[in-house]
Amino acid sequence: MSPTELKSLLTSLDLSQVNFARLVEVTPRAVNLWVMEERAIPGPVAAYSRLLNALPPNLRHIELGRLNERGTGMRDGMFGITFQGQHGAGMGMLVFDAGRVYGSDSEGARYDGGYVFNESSGKANVNLKVRFPPNVLSVFGIRNPYEWAVDVNTVIDPKQNAGSVIVKTSLGHQLNAQYKYLRALPETVEEM
């Protein structure tokens, strides 16, 4: 399948790149790279696309209905965070994007990791690696002359516009944190 064929399929089905990504369980960025001809379309995705296109309209409608069943509880987007440790406080921003989480805070720490959304509980289990720049005093009271990292995890309710959580760390410390939903992620920009 060529990028042109994929674009044509998405147009004929009135399917956004974001929703197609949800159907084939990849990130919207991956779909954008395929249609922009920056990456090859994987064989299983090409086969699924051809099958989807060949389905009779009633079966295609059922398959596209899976979009309403899958991941409806997780609200990806940008979240503001504030946190309080034993030796200070901070604030930052996290981006939740199709199972990935990334961001940074006011002191230059970088956050990278992921989440798993539990449809039954309606909560997301978040696991991050927080990398601190050299010579920055962390809210744990630790300052190192080199970059260092700590693992953190928590559980959030992404349907709430704001909430409080306890963040557990690999150092044995816990932080009190608050999160606030800021906005949805922008749709992938279609080629003009």
pLDDT tens by residue, the chain, 192 residues: 888 999 998 898 888 888 888 788 787 888 889 999 998 999 888 888 888 888 888 888 888 776 655 544 677 889 999 999 888 899 999 999 878 899 999 999 999 999 888 877 888 999 999 999 999 999 999 999 999 999 999 999 988 889 999 999 999 989 999 999 998 887 654 443
- Give residue 149's pLDDT: 96
- In this structure, the answer to whether residues 13 and 43 fall within a common structural domain is yes
How many C-beta atoms surround the C-beta of residue 185 within 10 A? 15
Contacts of 114 (CB under 8 A, 6+ apart): 99, 100, 101, 126, 127
Residue 138's identity, in one-letter code, is: S
- Give residue 192's pLDDT: 39
- In this structure, the answer to whether residues 61 and 84 fall within a common structural domain is no
β-pair partners for 123? 118
- Number of domains within the chain: 2
- In this structure, the answer to whether residues 94 and 36 fall within a common structural domain is no
| Alpha carbons 143 and 137: distance in angstroms, whole number | 5
Q: Containing H/E element for 54?
A: helix 43-54
Whole-prediction pTM: 0.63
CATH of the domain at 143: 2.40.128.380
Inter-residue contact 9 to 24 (CB < 8 Å): no
- In this structure, the answer to whether residues 93 and 179 fall within a common structural domain is yes
Residue 192 lies in a domain: no
- In this structure, the answer to whether residues 102 and 177 fall within a common structural domain is yes
- In this structure, the answer to whether residues 58 and 105 fall within a common structural domain is no
- Give residue 112's pLDDT: 96
First to last CA, the chain: 21
- Give residue 113's pLDDT: 94
Residue 188 lies in a domain: no
Domain that holds residue 108: 77-183
